[in-house]
Amino acid sequence: MVEADAETVAKLAVELGYPNDAQTIDERIAIIRRSDLLLVAVTPTNTPVAFIQANRSCIIEIGFRVEIVGLVVSAKARRGGIGRRLVAAMEQWAKEIGAEAVVVRSNTQRDESHIFYPAMGYGAVKTQAVYEKHLRQASART
């Protein structure tokens, strides 16, 4: 994924209910690319239709793992194997960097993902609550 993909990635994020603008996504791409994985899938005409983001994580009591923190496939491109190919590419990267496991969290409301991940060999290990505390104000939008 490159900065030029920011506008399309922002639109894909909106499809899942995460409103963003291209400038914010562009800034995040630059930060993430320094150490983690960002891949974008494109059509034969070079139109982005999906992306995956995965982070390295070493948890003292669990070990070194990779976590899928974002996988979005455009509604128009779903059911064509793009998600599977992105996950396979991410898993290859995880093996290459020596990760012991890959983890993914999925909102309970995303019914399709609860079919997709088990079909890819992922097993549910726990249910948990997620808590969030914002540390800075969102920038003012005009």
Element (H or E) spanning 115, and its range?
helix 113-119
Q: Are 59 and 49 in contact (CB under 8 A)?
A: no
Q: What is the distance between the alpha carbons of residues 29 and 83, in angstroms, rounded to a whole number? A: 20
Residue ranges and CATH numbers for the domains of the chain are 3-119 (3.40.630.30)
The tens-digit pLDDT sequence of the chain (142 residues) is 777 888 888 888 888 788 888 888 888 887 777 778 889 898 899 888 999 999 998 887 778 999 999 999 998 989 999 999 999 999 999 999 999 999 999 988 888 899 999 999 999 998 888 899 999 876 554 4
Q: What is the distance between the alpha carbons of residues 40 and 71, in angstroms, rounded to a whole number? A: 10
Element (H or E) spanning 119, and its range?
helix 113-119
Exposure b/e, 39-57, CB count within 10 A at least 16 = b:
bbbeeeeeebbbbbbbebb
Q: What is the distance between the alpha carbons of residues 10 and 24, in angstroms, rounded to a whole number? A: 9
106 closest CA partner among 29, 1, 16: 16
Q: What is the distance between the alpha carbons of residues 1 and 3, in angstroms, rounded to a whole number? A: 7
- pTM of this prediction exceeds 0.85: no
Q: What is the distance between the alpha carbons of residues 42 and 53, in angstroms, rounded to a whole number? A: 15
